[in-house]
Amino acid sequence: MDAELKRLLELSAKAMEVDGLTWIRSGQCFYYDDPETGREEWKPDNCDGQSRRLQVKLQIDTQHGDKEIKAFNGCYCCAVVKIGDDAAAAMRRAVLEVAAQVGEVLE
C-alpha cells in the first residue's frame, strides 16, 4: 500500500470516528473493532458498503459525469476523480478523498 492511500484511510477513519484503528504491517492494512460485527478491515477504497457509510455519515454528495466523478461535502471539501475502467472504483476514491479532507480538518 502506498503512503498516500494509507494516509487517506487514516484520515477517513478519523472522520468516520472509527475507534481502535490498528495498522497491520505484515498485511499492509488497517483493522478496527466494530461493536456489531467484531474485528473488520477498514477498506472504503475497495468496499462499496464502507464507502457508502462514509458518504452518508459525512453527507458527501456526488455528480457522475461521462469522464469524471465529483464528490463534495458542502463547499469546503471537494474531489474530482477521472473514470477509468471501473466507475465504482472512481466513486469510492472520490468519496474517500473527501472523507480524508474532513478527517484532516478534525486533526
- pTM for the model stands at 0.91
Q: Using one digit for the tens of pLDDT, what is the confidence trace for 27-70?
A: 889 998 877 878 889 999 999 999 999 999 999 999 999 999 99
Domains held by the chain: number: 1
Query: What end-to-end distance do the CA atoms of the chain give, in Å?
Result: 22
C-alpha cell at 35: 461493536
pLDDT value of position 53: 94
- Taking every pair of Cα atoms in the chain, the longest distance, rounded to a whole number of angstroms, is 39
Q: Supply the CATH number for residue 64's domain.
A: 3.30.2120
Q: Which of 74, 90, 82, 104 is nearest to 8 (CA)?
A: 104
pLDDT value of position 51: 97
Percentage of the residues of the chain whose pLDDT score is greater than 70: 99
* Residues spanned by the domain of 71: 3-106
